[in-house]
Amino acid sequence: MLLRKFTWDDIQAIVDLEARSFAVGAYDREDLEAVFSNPDSFNYVAEADGKVVGYVVAIPLDNSSADIESIAVDPGLQRSGLGSSLMSYIEEEMVARGFSISVLEVREKNLEAIAFYQRQGYETTKLLNNYYREYFRDSRHGFRMAKRLK
């Protein structure tokens, strides 16, 4: 498994990965291009056998915190430790860039993702009413979660 910086050659593989990874609310190509085009974002992909199998992208919010805008792992590799590796990698990069807090948003009813983030040390800090456009398990609400970095 190789963790490396994103290149524009990866964009279609990431669009495809998004579609496989999220039954509701997957970013489309336009959304992903906007996120990856942000000059302040930092973006990494996980590659196995020349194929993109995961990615993570973060965007600074202010001088002390950065937001994990999106993270996805190929469904066939979920629960393999790859998501944890991507989280560790992006958090280390946040620290190297001087950030002390990592923030993310997650759907209120995405219990699997919430449990994953809690295992990574994230805590719920805020309920986000009607945060998402699409319903997921009868809810459009989300949670903001945060973690103090080393």
Express each pLDDT in 7-42 by its tens digit.
Answer: 999 999 999 999 999 989 999 999 999 999 999 999
The pLDDT of residue 66 is 98
The pLDDT of residue 150 is 80
Domains of the chain, CATH where assigned: 2-148 (3.40.630.30)
Express each pLDDT in 95-147 by its tens digit.
Answer: 999 999 999 999 999 999 999 999 999 999 999 999 998 989 999 999 999 99
- Residue 101, phi then psi, degrees to nearest 5: -135, 135
Query: Which H, E and C letters describe 91-147, residue by residue?
Result: HHHHHHCCCCEEEEEEECCCHHHHHHHHHCCCEEEEEECCCCCCCECCECCEEEEEE
Q: What does pTM read for this prediction?
A: 0.93
